[in-house]
Amino acid sequence: MWVELAVVFLVTLGSSGLSSLISLIDALLAPAPLAAQTVTIVVPQAQASYLDLIKQLLSVVRGLAWGALGLYLLWRSGVNLSVKLGLDRRRPWSDLGVGVLLTAVIGIPGIALYLGAVAVGINLTVAPSTLNDVWWRLPVLVLAAVENGFLEEVLVVGYLLTRLEQLQVPGWAAIAISAVLRGSYHLYQGFGGFIGNAAMGVVFAWWFRRTRRLWPLVIAHSLLDIFSFAGYALLKGSVSWLP
């Protein structure tokens, strides 16, 4: 099972964490301070508009497939996804309500933390998207946000915590591992990105262990990224503090 965990995360978000670490080191070695550097999350991937659209959609499909891989491995090993991960439709309105509440609990302090981290110089300036103003920009940004929510919460919470429980890892250690992993693949944003996402990881992992419901976390994460990606695209140029 340890081998499975290593392979899955080296193929998916673990390798993203290592790449993010290298990106942060590279930013620290640059002559400009971190706050003067800008990093973008969703960028154009081709010159031609429709080729760019296809590549953006392929990126979304890849992320969804990574998440589905974790679910498949759990299901194949005999884990009941409805019972252990709460992936059922028994409480849709409750899951939605909790997801919206978690969005507010995480999102409002998260904005303050980001602005503070940039102000003190420990974080890069984050531009969520630099996609061209084309008809498919907002739908793709929404899809990318949903993909992030599904991928990260399935792998870093549902899959990882379930496997660590099966390996009899203490609860506090499992939460710490999940939180540090979540923070690691946000290191490309700077130390603030790591701290903020690790804190989010602690809250999400703790809540999942208490409730065994994954849908609210997927909803909350998706909403956070929708507000970030689509909100940036709509407000850029109208708000002074946006890069």
Residue 241 has pLDDT above 60, yes or no: no
The reply to whether 98 falls in a domain is yes
What average pLDDT score do residues 58-79 get? 98
Kindly indicate the confidence band of residue 14, based on its pLDDT and cuts at 50, 70 and 90.
very high
The length of the chain in residues reads 243
The reply to whether 240 falls in a domain is no
pTM of the predicted structure, to 2 decimals: 0.94
Each residue's pLDDT tens digit, 33-59: 999 999 999 999 999 999 999 999 999
H or E element in which residue 128 lies: strand 125-129
What average pLDDT score do residues 138-166 get? 97
The reply to whether 77 falls in a domain is yes
The reply to whether 60 falls in a domain is yes
Question: Please, what is the average pLDDT of the chain?
Answer: 95
Number of folded domains in the chain? 1
- Show the domain range for 225: 2-235
Nearest CA to 145 among 160, 124, 129?
129
Residue 190: beta bridge partners?
Answer: 123
Give the position of tokens 């084309």: 134
The reply to whether 205 falls in a domain is yes
Residues in Cβ contact with 99 at an 8 Å cutoff, skipping those fewer than 6 apart: 215, 216, 217, 218, 219, 220, 223
Each residue's pLDDT tens digit, 201-211: 999 999 999 99
- 95, 213 in Cβ contact below 8 A? yes
State residue 237's pLDDT score: 65
Nearest CA to 152 among 87, 197, 212, 95?
197
Kindly indicate the confidence band of residue 233, based on its pLDDT and cuts at 50, 70 and 90.
confident
Each residue's pLDDT tens digit, 118-149: 999 999 999 899 998 899 999 999 999 999 99
The reply to whether 16 falls in a domain is yes
**DSSP calls for 142-164:** HHHHHHHHHHHIIIIIIIHHHHH
Residue 196 has pLDDT above 60, yes or no: yes
> Out of 67-71, 108-112, 194-198, which region has the weakest mean confidence (pLDDT)?
108-112
Q: What is the token pair recorded at 65? A: 């497939």
The reply to whether 241 falls in a domain is no
Residues in Cβ contact with 42 at an 8 Å cutoff, skipping those fewer than 6 apart: 56, 128, 129, 130, 131, 140, 141, 144, 229
The reply to whether 150 falls in a domain is yes
